[in-house]
Amino acid sequence: MKSDQVIVSFRGVRKTYDGETLVVKQLDLDIYQGEFLTLLGPSGSGKTTCLMMLAGFEFPTGGEIWLDGKLLNKVPPHKRDIGMVFQNYALFPHLSVQQNVEYPLTVRKMSAAERVERTHNALKMVRMESFAKRYPAQLSGGQQQRIALARALVFEPKLVLMDEPLGALDKQLREHMQYELKSLHEKLGVTFVYVTHDQGEALTMSDRVAVFDKGIVQQLDTVDHLYEAPCNEFVANFIGDSNKLRGTIEQIQGDFCDIRLADGTRVSGLNVAKAQPGAQAIACIRPERMKLSLNQGRPGANALAGEAKSLIYFGDHVRMRCGLREQDECFVKVPLGTEALDAFAPGAPIALEFAPEHLRVFA
């Protein structure tokens, strides 16, 4: 359960490897006790470097990192009281499952009786107690990941860090493990910091997500706000699917603005960037926020005229690919059974209607 107590603080943290290019730029970030925070972003965005600095495998070029009131900048990894789960599991092949999980306790010189009890409890927690005598080579990828997680939790750390831990698993097992990790987090109440480039993982498991790009946190927010209210074009396009419209801002109306598209169509949207009339703008809208109608005449207010291109079946819905005048193609999600689908034909005229509050305008 997330609390209001800050357990980790990044203060003005910077990182460069060559003395010139900053991989992480002026990071200020608080992580709360008991939360599941995901660092999300494309390759090279700085998210893994932040995790490695928190773990102690890299040191910041500037700024400070604090854990539970203790400055970590020069503290070696084994003295940070942090559990770590890697993508490649990093299990010792010559040690049994029990010995692998017990290893952090041995390093900390705990008594034999306590080591046995804690190891058994950790294996039971991940439902692997019956595999104690096996070796890593005798386990599947999902089983090895459970053992790696048990090893990270067995010494009851203040913080557990995970570096793309499900990346090597197949899709079905990866999705199953996402739910298991979230359930385990809720049960234990330990603070998890998770790195991934997979937006689905981030949305499924996290309390909050920090979206990285070019060494900067573009947006730090809860998953629902991140999806419904992206603060800029990068976040809108990186989290979920977005359709883009290009045009010129014509008029400001409070928090909203009117945009004139290249073909003369005018639509209204939320002026996120606080842009002024005359500015060139890109507006983004989610495919499920567009309503399809096979309109043979002129579309109504806040609607786009176009033509149907093709259908893609997704099981619980259909995505229609649509052509728009002087804009990129876009997609609209259409629930199965929608009347408009029955009359679908490639090239048929359509109208895509949407509420102004769902069109987010970025300058």
pLDDT given for residue 246 in this prediction:
95
The CATH number of whichever domain residue 336 belongs to comes to 2.40.50.140
Of 57-61, 218-222, 292-296, 317-321, least confident by mean pLDDT is 292-296
Mean pLDDT of all residues in 318-327:
91
pLDDT tens-digit series, residues 188-210: 889 999 999 999 899 999 999 99
pLDDT given for residue 63 in this prediction:
97
Helix (H) or strand (E) holding 107: helix 97-107
Of 199, 234, 269, the last residue of a domain is: 234
pLDDT given for residue 297 in this prediction:
47
145 and 203 together in one domain:
yes
259 and 225 together in one domain:
no
What does the alpha-carbon distance between residue 11 and residue 212 come to, in Å, rounded to a whole number?
A: 16
63 and 162 together in one domain:
yes
303 and 156 together in one domain:
no
Of 204, 234, 264, the last residue of a domain is: 234
215 and 66 together in one domain:
yes
What does the alpha-carbon distance between residue 294 and residue 177 come to, in Å, rounded to a whole number?
A: 42
| Residue 140 forms part of a structural domain | yes
Mean pLDDT of all residues in 327-352:
83
Of 212, 234, 256, the last residue of a domain is: 234
| Residue 25 forms part of a structural domain | yes
Output the DSSP codes for 195-261.
Answer: EES-HHHHHHH-SEEEEEETTEEEEEEEHHHHHHS-SSHHHHHHSS--EEEEEEEEEEETTEEEEEE
189 and 268 together in one domain:
no
From 271, 294, 280, select the one nearest 353 (Cα to Cα): 294
Per-residue DSSP letter, 289: G
Domain membership of residue 283 as a residue range: 244-362
What does the alpha-carbon distance between residue 146 and residue 128 come to, in Å, rounded to a whole number?
A: 8
Mean pLDDT of all residues in 65-84:
91
pLDDT at 231 over 60: yes
From 163, 84, 85, 156, select the one nearest 119 (Cα to Cα): 156
| Residue 114 forms part of a structural domain | yes
206 and 320 together in one domain:
no
pLDDT band at 176 (very low <50, low <70, confident <90, very high): confident
pLDDT given for residue 299 in this prediction:
55
Helix (H) or strand (E) holding 174: helix 171-188
Other beta carbons within 10 angstroms of residue 90's beta carbon come to: 14
| Residue 109 forms part of a structural domain | yes
Q: What is the number of domains present in the chain?
A: 2
As beta bridge partners, residue 27 has 13
What does the alpha-carbon distance between residue 229 and residue 272 come to, in Å, rounded to a whole number?
A: 9
223 and 253 together in one domain:
no
pLDDT tens-digit series, residues 17-33: 998 899 999 999 999 99
According to DSSP, the β-strands at 360-362 and 256-261 are: unpaired
| Residue 1 forms part of a structural domain | no
Other beta carbons within 10 angstroms of residue 103's beta carbon come to: 18
221 and 292 together in one domain:
no
| Residue 341 forms part of a structural domain | yes
pLDDT at 295 over 60: no
Question: CA 229, 234, 239, 241 torsion: positive or negative?
Answer: positive
Neighbouring residues of 5: CB distance < 8 A, sequence distance ≥ 6 = 32, 33
From 186, 187, 191, select the one nearest 158 (Cα to Cα): 191
Mean pLDDT of all residues in 97-124:
92
pLDDT at 344 over 80: no
Residues 296/304, Cβ–Cβ less than 8 Å: no
Please write down the long-range contacts of 299-302, taking CB distance under 8 Å and 24 or more positions apart.
Answer: 299/351, 299/352, 299/353, 300/351, 300/353, 302/267, 302/268, 302/353, 302/354, 302/355, 302/356, 302/359
| Residue 239 forms part of a structural domain | no
| Residue 53 forms part of a structural domain | yes
pLDDT band at 298 (very low <50, low <70, confident <90, very high): low
pLDDT at 305 over 60: yes
222 and 251 together in one domain:
no
141 and 278 together in one domain:
no
Q: How many residues does the chain have?
A: 363
Per-residue DSSP letter, 43: T
Q: Considering the chain, what percentage of its residues have pLDDT values greater than 90?
A: 65
pLDDT band at 166 (very low <50, low <70, confident <90, very high): confident
pLDDT band at 288 (very low <50, low <70, confident <90, very high): very high
290 and 176 together in one domain:
no
The CATH number of whichever domain residue 87 belongs to comes to 3.40.50.300
Rounded to a whole number of angstroms, the CA Rg of the chain reads 25
